[in-house]
Amino acid sequence: MKVFYNPTHHQHYPPFEVFDGGEKVVNFEKPERMERILDALQSDPRFEICAPTDFGLAPIQAVHDSAYLDFLRTAYQEWLLEPTNYPKQVLLPATSPPDGRKGRIPATLLGRAGYYMTDLSCGIVEGTYQAALASAQCALSGANELITGARQVFALCRPPGHHAGRANCAGYCYINNAAVAANWLSSHGKTAILDIDYHVGNGTQDIFYERADVLTISIHADPDYDYPYFSGFADETGAGPGLGFHRNYPLPLGTTDADYFATLGQALERIRAFQPAYLVISAGMDIYAEDPLGQIRITRAGIAHIGREIAALQLPTLIVMEGGYNNAALGLNVAAFLQAWL
Ligand code: OKP
Ligand code: ZN
């Protein structure tokens, strides 16, 4: 199984994030996550670690707003020019638009930061844009493999992507890797995205909400209890031509293997009925019982079982790395998930 990976992500490591309630903590989304995963995969010769191809900006611009991408590209350097009386570590906003971003886009850098950065877990440092681009190219390289006949491929993406919307970053995500890949695949055949990260793939939901050619499904902690709070509810099912082509499966906190499998079964049934040519998995391992951010309790054996159930769809499948923050367990969890495709 090919694994696309680019070490450029090391340039992206915001020193802290701000939790809900205002607590300032060391970023949970760390470069070390990738080292742990690589360690686990490199011990198995069936994984082939490959450098991604650069497919340029066009497939990313097809999903994200150009002014937003410009902001990501230039924000840090612009910020360095701002006179401040504090040491510059990471760009984070302290304002957000009260009108749901319906008004004009602010001219000032800090105004644009408040406009495009929709929470405090997506700080921008010098290497953020380059890392996010490299991450998206891993997903595109995976998509390219499927188009040229591969049955399965793993995009080892960092930073993750599924909270990034058409014109915003959030929750450690800047460019929506899975959405960029799925959008590209969709020009070759109907594509389904199944998001199993603990958190709802709200950026992915946003990007495909009015489209019928890409089915998006997310299984996640009920947003009535956990981040990202504002979407991921069961009554959000798509709009316009996309009505019926989005599904959310919110789960109660504390959900264990058996209940998760029952919900997964419903999601997989919808994917079968859609008859996609390609499947993209947003694979977050924060569903794991011992994850420091997740509050459901899926065992490692459960993660392996989820992999087997998805693989049984027998679809050309691109697995895209999203979250998972128990670094000691992360490599083994990813390896357990991928076993079914080897
Ligand atoms: C990204 B992914 C905890 C706040 C954490 C950010 C979570 C981002 C998760 N109180 N906020 O979906 O794994
Ligand atoms: Zn997550």
- Residues 265-279 have pLDDT tens digits of 999 999 999 999 999
Arithmetic mean of pLDDT, 243-271: 98
Alpha helices in the chain (DSSP H): 32-42, 58-61, 66-81, 109-116, 128-147, 177-186, 202-208, 257-274, 300-311, 327-338
Q: Is the pLDDT of residue 115 over 90?
A: yes
- 246 is an active site residue: no
Sign of torsion, CA 27 280 310 237? Answer: positive
Say yes or no: CB of residue 323 within 6 Å of ligand 1. Answer: yes
Arithmetic mean of pLDDT, 241-246: 98
Say yes or no: CB of residue 227 within 6 Å of ligand 1. Answer: yes
pLDDT tens, position by position, 181-205:
999 999 999 999 999 999 999 999 9
The ligand 1 atom nearest the CA atom of 325: 13
Say yes or no: CB of residue 171 within 6 Å of ligand 1. Answer: yes
The ligand 1 atom nearest the CA atom of 284: 13
Quick one: pLDDT band at residue 99, thresholds 50, 70, 90?
confident
Locate 16 and state its tokens.
Answer: 């802290």
**Residue 171 Cα to ligand 1 middle (Å):** 5
Say yes or no: CB of residue 199 within 6 Å of ligand 1. Answer: yes
The ligand 1 atom nearest the CA atom of 201: 12
Q: Is the pLDDT of residue 236 over 90?
A: yes
Q: Is the pLDDT of residue 32 over 90?
A: yes
Average pLDDT, rounded, for the chain: 98
Task: Output the pLDDT for position 297.
Answer: 98
DSSP per-residue string spanning 146-214: HHTT-SEEEE--SS--TT-BTTBBBTTBSS-HHHHHHHHHHTTS-EEEEE-SSS--HHHHHHHTT-SSE
CB 329 within 8 A of CB 288: yes
Task: Output the pLDDT for position 339.
Answer: 98
Number of H helices, E strands in the chain: 10, 10
pLDDT tens, position by position, 48-93:
999 999 999 999 999 999 999 999 999 999 999 999 899 999 999 9
Say yes or no: CB of residue 33 within 6 Å of ligand 1. Answer: no
The percent of residues in the chain predicted with pLDDT above 90, rounded, is: 97
Say yes or no: CB of residue 291 within 6 Å of ligand 1. Answer: no
Task: Output the pLDDT for position 103.
Answer: 86
**Residue to probe by mutation, ligand 1, list 175, 199, 327, most atoms within 8 Å of CB:** 199
Question: Which residue CA neighbors atom 8 of ligand 1 most closely?
Answer: 171
CB 136 within 8 A of CB 173: no
What's the helix, strand, coil split of the chain in %, to 5?
40, 15, 45
Task: Output the pLDDT for position 264.
Answer: 99
CA 62, CA 86: separation in Å to the nearest integer? 38
Q: Which ligand is nearest the CA of 170, by number? A: 1
Q: Is the pLDDT of residue 100 over 90?
A: no
The ligand 1 atom nearest the CA atom of 162: 12
**Residue 19 Cα to ligand 2 middle (Å):** 14
pLDDT tens, position by position, 118-160:
999 999 999 999 999 999 999 999 999 999 999 999 999 999 9
Say yes or no: CB of residue 286 within 6 Å of ligand 1. Answer: yes
Q: Compute and round to an integer the Cα radius of gyration of the chain.
A: 19
State how far the alpha carbon of 39 is from the alpha carbons of 45, 57, 138, in Å.
Answer: 12, 31, 18
**Residue 250 Cα to ligand 2 middle (Å):** 13
Q: Which of 64, 162, 163, 220 is catalytic?
A: 163
Residues 6+ positions from 170 with CB-CB distance below 8 Å: 117, 118, 119, 121, 122, 163, 164, 202, 203, 228
Task: Output the pLDDT for position 319.
Answer: 99
Phi, psi of 178 (to 5 degrees): -65, -40
CB atoms near residue 252 (< 10 Å):
12
